[in-house]
């Protein structure tokens, strides 16, 4: 068994299913980890907005912004389209870089209204959408097998010794694509499990002694 698959099995055995993407039920105004497919346009749209909001910030800050949007009943294409960017920025302030993110949301809405196919190439053509955001949207909202590479993934696999700080996004993604079967469920869980592991052990200052991946780690 290859090391990348073995690491997934260990993480899954210890942490269990993560149920990502977290969705905010509008009638409760609290984030819940549903683990369901985005079966409605509303769920897909919330994932798309969340993927933009999570750029350069912790998820807890995104949750606050999504809850606020839900309370105001603004998680809707038409309502966000008509809302001035400055006002939108104030509402999503908790997510950081809020004025820029408001403009990115506007750009995304313009794309969605264009009815162009939701492909990786088309998403990357949108202002403010990079590979991580595009792949998050494709994987979690549209159930397409693109492995998401984030800062946690790069940190963990650099410390393990399977990656290097200088590796580009597409190089790291290709490593996962080559070593895992292209399975949407596995890709979703693996990404979420890496986030959980980074929070518990593989922090900026790692807690190596109790780390469940210690035997693989080049840093030990």
pLDDT at res. 102: 98
pTM equals 0.93
What's the domain range around 128? 38-142
Whether residues 132 and 177 fall in one domain: no
pLDDT tens per residue across span 51-92: 999 999 999 999 999 999 988 999 999 999 999 999 999 999
How many domains are there within the chain?
Answer: 2
Between the CA of residue 66 and those of 53, 106, 159, 220, what are the distances in Å? 9, 16, 33, 39
Helix/strand/coil (H/E/C) assignment for every residue in 163-219? CCCCCCHHHHHHHHHHHCCCCHHHHHHHHHHHHHHHHHCCCCCCCCCCCCCHHHCCC
Residue 29 lies in a domain: no
Domain ends where: 79, 114, 142? 142
Whether residues 152 and 136 fall in one domain: no
Whether residues 163 and 215 fall in one domain: yes
pLDDT tens per residue across span 2-14: 999 999 999 999 9
Whether residues 135 and 152 fall in one domain: no
């Amino acid at each position: 068994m290859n090391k990348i698959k073995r690491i997934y099995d260990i993480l899954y055995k210890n942490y269990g299913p993560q149920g990502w993407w977290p969705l905010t039920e509008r009638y409760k105004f609290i984030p819940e980890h549903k683990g369901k497919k985005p079966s409605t346009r509303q769920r897909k749209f919330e994932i798309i907005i969340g993927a933009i909001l999570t750029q350069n910030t912790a998820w807890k800050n995104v949750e606050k912004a999504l809850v606020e949007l839900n309370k105001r009943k603004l998680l809707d294409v038409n309502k966000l389209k008509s809302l001035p960017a400055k006002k939108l920025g104030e509402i999503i302030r908790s997510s950081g870089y809020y004025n820029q993110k408001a403009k990115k949301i506007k750009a995304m809405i313009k794309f969605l209204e264009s009815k162009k196919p939701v492909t990786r190439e088309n998403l990357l053509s949108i202002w403010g959408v990079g590979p991580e955001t595009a792949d998050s949207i494709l994987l979690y909202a549209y159930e397409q097998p693109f492995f998401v590479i984030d800062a946690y993934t790069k940190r963990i696999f650099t410390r393990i010794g399977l990656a290097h700080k200088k590796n580009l996004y597409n190089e790291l993604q290709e490593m996962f694509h080559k070593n895992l079967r292209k399975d949407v469920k596995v890709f979703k869980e693996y990404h979420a499990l890496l986030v959980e592991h980074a929070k518990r052990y593989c922090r900026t200052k790692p807690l190596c002694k109790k780390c469940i991946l210690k035997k693989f780690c080049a840093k030990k």
